[in-house]
Structure formats: C-alpha cells, structure tokens
Amino acid sequence: MKKAKIYKPSKTAMQSGTKKYDKWLIEFITEDTGINPLMGWESSTDTFSELKLEFSTKELAVEYAKKNKIVFELIEPNSKKIVKKSYSNNFTK
C-alpha cells in the first residue's frame, strides 16, 4: 500500500482564524513525480497524490489507516504558546 502522512494543517500567516484548521488530514506521499515536457510542471500518474481525507480527530485518522493497511507517519502539531500582553507595557519600559 502507499505511504501516507497524518497531520493537522497549520494556520496560514494571511488569516487570523483557526476554524478551518481543526481537522486531521491523511495525505498520500508520491515518490514517482516527473516533469511535464509541454508545460514544465511537476506531474504524476499516481492519483493518490490528489487525495486528502479529513477526520475530526487524530484517533479516527489512525484507526482508518490501520483498518485499510496504510503505512503512515504521524506528525504532531506544534503547541502554540500564548503570551499575555498588556497595552500599558508599551509605555512602562
């Protein structure tokens, strides 16, 4: 079977909201990519590279991969450290 990675996508720098980024994804890894001679784009004949499966929890994604005998790599998200700031700190230093 194909190799896949299970991860939670990170928030882009262009958006402040995190609503879209609470799902876990299974994305298949393609190693046989080539260059399209006409356009110069990277292309592949493997259609698994176009597939991204969404799950609400990490456990469901891992369970799905094990049930379907998918070799996977689990990538844990980095924890975000929140620093409390006060507006008055701008003037008191």
**Structural domains of the chain, with CATH:** 3-10+20-90 (3.30.160)
Residue 92 has pLDDT above 90, yes or no: no
Element (H, E) at 86: none
Contact (Cβ atoms closer than 8 angstroms) between residue 6 and residue 77: no
Average pLDDT over residues 27-55: 85
pTM: predicted TM-score of the whole model, two decimal places? 0.73
pLDDT of res. 58: 94
Confidence of residue 1 (pLDDT cuts 50, 70, 90): low
Residue 93: pLDDT band with limits 50, 70, 90: low
CB-based contacts of 83, cutoff 8 Å, min separation 6? none
Helix (H) or strand (E) holding 73, with range, is: strand 71-75
Sorting pLDDT into bands at 50, 70 and 90, what band is 74? very high
